[in-house]
Structure 1
Amino acid sequence: MTESKDIQVKEKQEVNASAEQTKPGPTFVPVADIFETELEITLLADMPGVKPEDLDIDLRENTLTLAGEVEPPEGAEETDIFREYQTGRYFRQFTLSEVIDQSKIDAKLNDGVLRLTLPKVEKAAPRKIMVKAG
């Protein structure tokens, strides 16, 4: 018996702002995947069009904030004829647990995908305890 899975297109999800914004335009929630190994947690966030210099990653009081901006691709002399690709800002926050070694977080942005490596503190990582004859 085979199972078929429907392919579903995910569109950018716009944030419902609870506060007044200082810039016009939409703010989107980047789609994220989180997975873990014994030694680290990895977070992938989809942020197409964001350049490293337009990405801000902030860590305060165990809250990890991702913010990035995408500028419209057309030049000053060009005008839109048809547009499906939406530009604007990306914003998402995550609460980090005490198992993350916050001083060793690593971030890489490649082809519009942000990869954050969140190493676990040494005491949280599993380890084998040797038993000595005594």
Structure 2
Amino acid sequence: MDRALNSVLGQMLSPARGQTMPMDLYREGENFVLNVDLPGVDPASIDVDVEDRTLTIRAERRFEESEDIQWLARERQTGAFARQLTLGAGAAMDNINASYADGVLSLTIPMAEEAKPRKIEVSHSGQQGAIEQGS
């Protein structure tokens, strides 16, 4: 059931903990924009790769451990996170740009040239036929 839902929703859960990375995906002009929430993640732990048409994002959030810490509440998830999305043929996979600021990973995925809308000009012969009146 989970596998079927994941394929429909386009998301894969991290198998280790079942954690997801909340995201927004939208189209802006000729780009797709993907924003993924990764608060508290070390930017050096973020890995983004594309294989075939699958975009994979991995990241890790760690807590510094100390013998002096006595936890009263610990709700923030730690460990490795992963998310996979299958991108359609309309995405230019070789021109993806990524940046990380304020806990948000942003990817800009341009549309492939062949997927961009274009105007098709309609030609016509330009000849006008005269209607002759029969006698």
TM over 0.5, shorter chain: yes
**TM-score (normalised: structure 2):** 0.71
CA contact (8 A) 1:38 1:126 kept: no
Structure 2 vs 1, CA of residues 29 and 132 (structure 1 numbering), >3 Å: closer, same or farther? Answer: same
How far residue 107 of structure 1 moved from its aligned partner, in angstroms, is: 0.5
52, 72, 81: which is aligned to 1:90? 81
* Residue correspondence of structure 1 range 40-51 to structure 2 within 5 A: 40-51=31-42
After superposition, the Cα gap between the structure-2 partners of 1:125 and 1:16, relative to the gap in structure 1 and judged at 3 Å, is closer
Query: For 1:16 and 1:101, how far apart are their aligned partners in 2?
Result: 26
Contact 1:47 1:112 survives alignment (8 Å): yes
* C-alpha RMSD of matched pairs (Å): 2.4
Structure 1 position 104, deviation (Å): 0.5
User: What are structure 1's unaligned runs of at least 5 residues?
Assistant: 1-14
Could you tell me whether the CA contact under 8 Å between 2:14 and 2:82 is conserved in 1? no
Contact 2:91 2:112 in 1 (8 A): yes
Does residue 29 of the first structure (1) align with residue 17 of the second (2)? no
What is the match of residue 61 of structure 1?
Answer: 52
Verify the 8 A CA contact 2:95 2:110 in the aligned structure 1.
yes
Between Structure 1 and Structure 2, the one with more helix by share is 2
**Which runs of structure 1 show a deviation greater than 3 angstroms over 4 or more consecutive aligned residues?**
74-78, 127-134
Question: TM-score, normalising length from structure 1?
Answer: 0.71
State which structure, 1 or 2, has the greater radius of gyration over its C-alpha atoms: 2
Equivalent residues of 1:64, 1:94 under 8 A apart: yes
Indicate how the Cα distance of structure 1 residues 16 and 125 shifts in structure 2: closer, same or farther if over 3 A, else same. Answer: closer
The letter of the residue matching 1:31 is: P
Shift of 1:96: 0.9
